[in-house]
Amino acid sequence: MKNPKRMGCQQVLLHPNKDLFSAILEYACGEANKIYNCATYYARQVFFKEHRYVGKGELCRQLKWNRHFGAIYVSAAQQICNCVVEAFNSFQALLQLFRQGELLIKPQPPKYRKPGLFTLSYPKRWLKLTNSSIRCPLGKKVKTWFGIDAFYIPMPSNLDWAFIHARETPPSVKCDMKAFYGVGRDSAPLF
């Protein structure tokens, strides 16, 4: 019998100064919101016109030439497209339950987000641990436009790099919150 995996989350509160670091995070999270809306638009069009659901690969292929998709790191943009596909998969499951009579209210397809910020998510393989900080890449266009290829955040002292699975940047206005997700076995401490 396999040992079950445990998943944990630790949020680390950062207070970025009002200089370039804060502006770049705001720009990247704003572009992430635009990618979400573009992906939702495409998925809704496919649903309404072709009566089918998009897959992860199809959505990423269709959006790879979108200027917002290219404005941030590709794996972060792909994670956003995966969120849209998951939302439509949930809608599909709810619609099936409605058709079987198990739901009273007909579910609606995922809607667009209001203008603002959206979460950036990086899988661990694209993060690099350097000294006491974590390097988060920003993409080629950001490097061309702003001259910065990555931003660095301090590594939390109580986390082990080996157990970190992913990192997310939930957007906020006055401060920045980093969420580190880890995977561990029952025998190993998670955080």
Q: Where are the domains of the chain?
A: 5-185
Report the C-alpha gap between 152 and 85 in whole angstroms.
30
Is 0.95 surpassed by the pTM of this model?
no
| Residue 109: predicted pLDDT | 95
| Residue 100: predicted pLDDT | 95
- Comparing C-alpha atoms, which of 133, 135, 191 is closest to residue 162? 191
pLDDT in tens, 6-58: 666 777 676 666 666 777 888 888 999 999 999 999 999 999 999 999 999 99
pLDDT in tens, 103-161: 999 999 999 999 988 888 888 888 888 887 888 888 888 888 888 888 887 777 777 77
Question: Taking the alpha carbons of 105, 111, 113, 118 in that order, is the dihedral positive or negative?
Answer: positive
Crossing angle for the helix pair 56-63 and 74-99, to the nearest 10 degrees? 130
pLDDT in tens, 77-107: 999 999 999 999 999 999 999 999 999 999 9
| Residue 8: predicted pLDDT | 66
